[in-house]
Amino acid sequence: MNNKEFINELSKQTNQSAGVTTKLVNDVIKTLEEHFQQNDTVVLSSFGTFEVKKKMERISVNPTTGKRYLIPPKLVLSFKQSNVLKDKFNAE
């Protein structure tokens, strides 16, 4: 499902226009982005937890040349599904 399909489905379920639904979805995404930039953890009950984690720097090896190089540390977004969501997938 792409963004357009998601918005169309959501607008049908909420009986709102596609324009209103698009604004709502964009506002939710913008709010999530703001919290991720502040390294906040976002918990959506019955869905899961989004968390910004720091990957430490590490050494990697190019398998063809054998050359070693340093990969710098970086922040990554991780998601852990809730037990409710996990149970729904495993029940089917």
Domain ranges of the chain: 1-38, 39-92
Q: What is the pTM of this model?
A: 0.74
Query: What's the DSSP call for residue 69?
Result: E
C-alpha gyration radius of the chain: 19
Contact call for residues 52 and 77 (beta carbons, < 8 A): yes
- The string of pLDDT tens digits covering residues 47-83 is 999 999 999 999 999 999 999 999 999 999 999 999 9
Contact call for residues 48 and 84 (beta carbons, < 8 A): no
Class of domain 39-92: few secondary structures
Query: Does position 92 have pLDDT exceeding 70, yes or no?
Result: no
- The string of pLDDT tens digits covering residues 14-45 is 999 999 999 999 999 999 999 999 999 999 98
- Which pairing describes strands 68-71 and 74-81: parallel, antiparallel, or unpaired? unpaired
What contacts 59, CB < 8 A, 6 or more positions away? 68, 69, 70, 71
- Which among 50, 46, 55 is positioned nearest to 29, based on CA atoms? 50
